[in-house]
Structure 1
Amino acid sequence: MYDFVIIGGGIIGMSTAMQLIDLYPDARIALLEKRVRASLPPDRA
């Protein structure tokens, strides 16, 4: 089970995950992304 689930691995999702790690270093965080490689345009994933 996760403490936080973030949907979307773009810049907002990644930034949110980084801030959560800073605030809650022991939390379990899941970051869900529909593409294989996060933060790339759809034609490059």
Structure 2
Amino acid sequence: VLAPRDDADQAAAFARASGARWAALAGADSAPGLLRDLLTPTAAG
């Protein structure tokens, strides 16, 4: 069982990694691109 702070650290690390990937794929300010990537996991990975 992870402590709450470990969950938060994991979430923050995931957000940084996925955010950087989305920025590279779609542009940091491309909301439609972000939504498309969120809704289509196969396209993102």
TM-score (norm. length: structure 2): 0.35
Q: Higher strand fraction: Structure 1 or Structure 2?
A: 1
| TM-score of the aligned structures, taking structure 1 as reference length | 0.35
Structure of greater relative contact order (alpha carbons < 8 Å, 6+ residues apart): 1
Structure index of larger Rg:
2
